[in-house]
Amino acid sequence: MPVPIRPDSRLSRIRAMSTPELLDRVTVLRDQMDDEALELLHAELASRGIGQDEIGAHLREMRFKIVQHPDGMPAVCHKCGRAAVVSRLEWHRMWGMIPLFKRQRYWCEEHS
């Protein structure tokens, strides 16, 4: 049975995001967001005093750094919600120890 989603849970998740993650989501990850999310993300950025100038600067900085999947969609960090800037072929390990197979993993600036 599906767990009902509280209407304020989305807003509280957005409020808990770092400013760079919010900026990634309204710029390079924009196509992966729905209209309601974009509205909430922009409202949260505005409440932090961040406007169109900063958003435009972030887009100019990030658009040539991001890593894309073969279909052209920007990759997201394996550890957080930021746009990935590095991709590496890494071992997938059972219980974090036993190597099973290699897989492509994506990492943001902070976690790369």
Binding site for Zn ion (CB under 5 A): 77, 79-80, 82, 108, 111
For Zn ion, the nearest residue by Cβ is: 77
- Whose Cβ is closer to Zn ion: residue 51's or residue 65's? 65
User: Of 54 and 109, which CB lies nearer to Zn ion in the complex structure?
Assistant: 109
In the complex, least distance from residue 11 CB atom to Zn ion, rounded to whole angstroms? 22
Cβ–Cβ under 8 Å, residues 103 and 89 = yes
Write phi, then psi, for 85 (nearest 5 degrees). Answer: -120, -5
> Residue 17 or residue 45: which is nearer to Zn ion going by CB?
17
Residue 93, beta-bridge partner list: 99
Residue type, 13: R
How far, in Å, CA of 41 to CA of 54, rounded? 14
